[in-house]
Structure 1
C-alpha cells in the first residue's frame, strides 16, 4: 500500500507539472494582446510599453513561466489586469460557490443514479427497467441550458417555488443558500445521474451473474442482503470511478449552469477572463481546476481498497 501511495503521489505531481505547462502556454496561445485589451482606447506607445513592463510581458517565456510557478507555489497568482484585485482573493470568493454547487449536483446524481440503476438491474426486463432506461436516455439527451430555462420558467416564474437567479453565501443564511442552489443542482445533476445510472446498472448485472452471488443465495442470504451487501458493494468500484471523474468535470464544467442562474462561481470568472484577455485570472482558474481534478482522481484511487479490500494495489494486497 505504501509503494502504491508513493507511486500515485509521484504520478500526480508529474501530472500537475505538465498541467502548469499546458495552462501557461495555452493561455498565451489565445489571440489578442492583453496589454492592448487592458489599455483600452488610450494606446499610445509609451503607455503600452509601461504596461507591458508592469505585466512582465516583455520577459522571455521561460522567465514568465518561472515566475508563474514560483508564485503559484506560494498561492500567489498575481493580480487581475482588469480590476487589480489579487487572483487568489477572486478564487477564494468564487471557488466555494462552484464547489457547493458541484457537491449538491453530485449528491443528486448519486442518489438518483444509483437507486434507479439498482432497480433497473434487479427488475431487468420489467416495466421498472424500461422506465429507468427512459429517464436515463432523457437525462443524456436534454441539454443543461434548455432544462435550466424550462425549470426557471415553470418552477421559478410560474410556481415561485425556487428563485430564478442569485446567490446567498452559506455563512450568511444557510436556508436561503440551499434555496438558491437546489434548482441549479437538480439541473446540473440530472445529466450526471443518467451516466451513473447506466454504469450502476451494467456493474450490477455483472455482479448478479457472478458465482459468489449464486453461492450467497444458496446459503439462504435474503434477497436484500444479496443485493446490498454483495452485488451493490462490488459494483461501487465502477460507480466510484464514474463519480470521481464526473465531480472533476462538474467543478470545471458548470459554466453554463452558473451563467443561467447568475451564480458568481468559476464559470462567470472564466468567461470574463477569456473575453478580457486577463492572463493571471485565467491561469489561476484553470490551474486550480486542474489541481482539483488531480486530487479527486487520487482520492478515488485510494477509495478502491476501502470499497473492496480484495483489490490488489501496485501488486500488493490492499
Structure 2
C-alpha cells in the first residue's frame, strides 16, 4: 500500500510538471502564438480577435489555471479547424491507432519471444549466427522502407499478391469490421516485424541472464531437459523483465506508428497530430500532447505495478 501511494503521488506530481512544460512550450516559441495560428499575413484585427477569443491577452498564470480547470472538468478545448471538442477528435483517431498498436504488438510478441527462445536453444554456432542476423536486420529496417516493401508485395493494385488494401480506412470505421481490420494488416505487419526484432533481442538477453545464474542447471539436475528448463523455468523468471519491455514498447508505439499512419493514410493520432501542427491549431496540439503524456504515465504506472506483482522480491526493498 505504501508503494502504491508513493507511486500515485509521483504520478500526480509528474502530471503537474508535464502540464506546465506543455503549456509553456507553446508559449516560448518564437513569435506570437495568435499570429502563428492566424497566419503571418493576417490583418492585425484578426490577430487581436483571435488573441481575445483564446484568452491569450490575459496573464500566463490565469491562462494556465483556466486550462487546468478545463482539464479537470474533462474539457480539453476545441479545435480551431472544425470546432469539434479535442477529446472527441482524439477519441475517433484512437479507434485507428490503438487497434493498430495492439495488432502490431501481438505480431511482434508472436515473432519475438519464440525466436528469442530459439536463439538461446540453438546449439550450433551457425544457427546462432542466423538468429542474430535476423534480429539485427529486422531491427535495422526503417519503418518507411519496410512498409513500402510490404505494399509492393501484398497491396491491391501494385503488389505481386494483391490481397490487402494499400492505404486508407473505411469511412464507417469499425462499423465495417472486415474492411477496417484488413486496412490495418499491412501497417501492423510493418510495425510487428520491426518491434518483434527488438523483443527477440530482449528475450534472448533475458534468458541468457537467467541461464548465467545457474537456475537452468539446477532445473536440469532435477530431471528437466535443457529445452524444458529454459522454457518452463527460464522464461517464467524472465517474464517480469519482458513485461516491462513490452509495456514500455506499447507506450512508445503510439508515437512510433506516426510514420506508418502517414504512409498508409490512416487517420490516427500520430498523423492527426502532424496535421494539427501543419494547420497551426496549437491549442488543440497543447491538449493532445498532454493526453499523450497522461497515456505514457498510466502505462508506466501499470508496468511498475505489474512488474512488482510478478516479482515479489522487489517488495523486500521497502522492508
For the aligned pair, the TM-score class normalised by the smaller chain equals: over 0.9
* TM-superposed deviation, 1:170: 5.9
Aligned equivalents of 1:250, 1:219: Cα separation in 2: 41
Is 1:262 aligned to residue 298 of structure 2? no
The SS at the match of 1:310 is helix
* TM-superposed deviation, 1:253: 2.5
Conserved 8 A contact 2:254-2:270: no
- The equivalent residue for 2:210 is 207
Equivalent runs, 1:143-292 vs 2, <5 Å? 143-156=142-155, 157-158=158-159, 159-168=161-170, 171-292=174-295
Conserved 8 A contact 1:258-1:267: yes
* TM-superposed deviation, 1:219: 1.2
- The equivalent residue for 2:72 is 73
- The equivalent residue for 1:122 is 121
* TM-superposed deviation, 1:128: 3.2
* TM-superposed deviation, 1:166: 1.1
Q: Label 1:124 to 1:239 Cα distance change in 2 as closer, same or farther (>3 A).
A: farther
* TM-superposed deviation, 1:91: 0.9
CA deviations 1:214-266 (Å, max 9, x no partner) are 22111113444312221001112221121121111111222110000001011
Give RMSD over aligned pairs.
2.0
Q: Structure 2 stretches of 5 or more lacking a match?
A: none
Q: Label 1:292 to 1:46 Cα distance change in 2 as closer, same or farther (>3 A).
A: same
- The equivalent residue for 2:4 is 5
CA deviations 1:99-136 (Å, max 9, x no partner) are 11111111111111111111111115443322221111
* TM-superposed deviation, 1:174: 2.2
The SS at the match of 2:313 is coil
Q: Label 1:42 to 1:26 Cα distance change in 2 as closer, same or farther (>3 A).
A: closer
Q: Structure 1 stretches of 5 or more lacking a match?
A: none
Conserved 8 A contact 1:233-1:307: no
Conserved 8 A contact 1:118-1:201: yes
- Number of matched pairs: 315
Higher relative contact order (CA 8 A, sep 6+): 1
What is the TM-score when the length of structure 2 is the normalising length?
0.92
- The equivalent residue for 1:297 is 300
* TM-superposed deviation, 1:209: 2.6
- The equivalent residue for 1:26 is 25
